Amino acid sequence: MSTSPSSSAQAARRALGERLREIRKDAGLSARQLAEATGQHYTRVSKIENAVQAPTDRDIDDWCRVCGASGQAADLIASLRAVDSAYLEFRRQSRAGLKRVLGAHTQQRYEQTAVFRIYEHNVIPGLLQTADYTAAMLRFWIKFLGAPNDIDDAVAVRMERQRILNRGGKRFVVVLEEQALHTWFGTADVQAGQLGRLLELMSLPNLSLGIVPLNTERDCVASAGFWIFDESLVALETPTASIQVTQPAEIHMYARIFEVLENSAVYGREARMLILKALAELGD
């Protein structure tokens, strides 16, 4: 079975068409009746339902209104917008260098976001990284993806984004698994610098840093790291693609998972002690 972004997009188109067909049938309408009620040719209804032609936002709004399912319009429109943008291929983007491989993490997105909810299970998130830690990570991806070596520019772009941490009106809620404190990128000195940076950032009034201890009773384990940008987007990264979730119902599920993970974390002095313990182990 193909799992390429293009095939995933086509599968998403089919799923959207099938859902619209179900809504029409649940309303007891034929394709002709729906077409007449929405002012379009009935063959277009068939093309939308069979993923031959993409609907517009207006099509979905009208479709749901006529079928008495207006409450589903927002999720369906989000699905439509995500079809072609949900999977952004790293290898294709990286042909111009890792400076351009940003996925959802663009300066514009950061400027628009008021509340960042960030969960990472095995790595320090980019907004909290030192330049040396970032460079150590990117050197692997440059080699792995066969990308041009633009390491200095790629690091500079990511460091520039960190200015957002000091911007008024922004809040950052970060939950890390304790394992992230022990995942090395580069030398022991690089890791020590990164852990020291975490201790410094904990003093920011707009940043909350929680750490889930390795050996603790918990209710939830997330399978991947994810970022929630306000209530508008969830971003995840795999080794080959950046996945962007825009459906309100799915975003709500991630928010619920994040809340459970927050409740498993420790904060303040207890979190500092875990970081200091990881620092001490570097010298052992």
At 174 the pLDDT is 98
> How many C-beta atoms lie closer than 10 Å to residue 283's C-beta?
7
Across the chain, mean pLDDT equals 86
At 177 the pLDDT is 96
Domain layout of the chain by residue ranges = 5-82, 87-282
Q: Of 143 and 10, which is predicted with more confidence?
A: 143
At 263 the pLDDT is 94
User: Is 87-282 the same fold as 5-82?
Assistant: no
What stretch of H or E contains 236? Answer: strand 233-237
* Helices 188-201 and 268-282, axial angle in degrees (round to 10): 170
Determine contact, residues 69/12, Cβ cutoff 8 Å. no
**105: its two tokens:** 């993490």
What is the identity of the amino acid at 41?
H
At 54 the pLDDT is 81
Find all residues with CB under 8 Å of 64, minimum gap 6, and list them. Answer: 23, 70, 71, 72, 73, 76
Query: Whose CA is closest to 129, among 167, 89, 165, 170?
Result: 165
* Of the listed ranges 123-127, 131-135, 234-238, the one predicted with least confidence: 234-238
The percent of residues above 70 in pLDDT, for the chain, comes to: 87
One CATH from 1.10.20, 3.40.50, 2.60.40, 3.30.870 for 87-282 = 3.30.870
Say if residue 95's pLDDT is above 70.
Answer: no
Sorting pLDDT into bands at 50, 70 and 90, what band is 63? very high
At 9 the pLDDT is 57
At 222 the pLDDT is 82
Q: Given its phi and psi angles, is residue 103 left (phi above 0), alpha (psi -120 to 50 degrees) or beta?
A: left
Sorting pLDDT into bands at 50, 70 and 90, what band is 11? low
Query: Which three-class secondary structure state does DSSP give residue 210?
Result: strand
CATH superfamily name and code, 5-82? lambda repressor-like DNA-binding domains (1.10.260.40)
What is the model's pTM?
0.70
What integer is the mean pLDDT of 7-20?
74
CA atoms within 13 A on the CB side of 3: 4
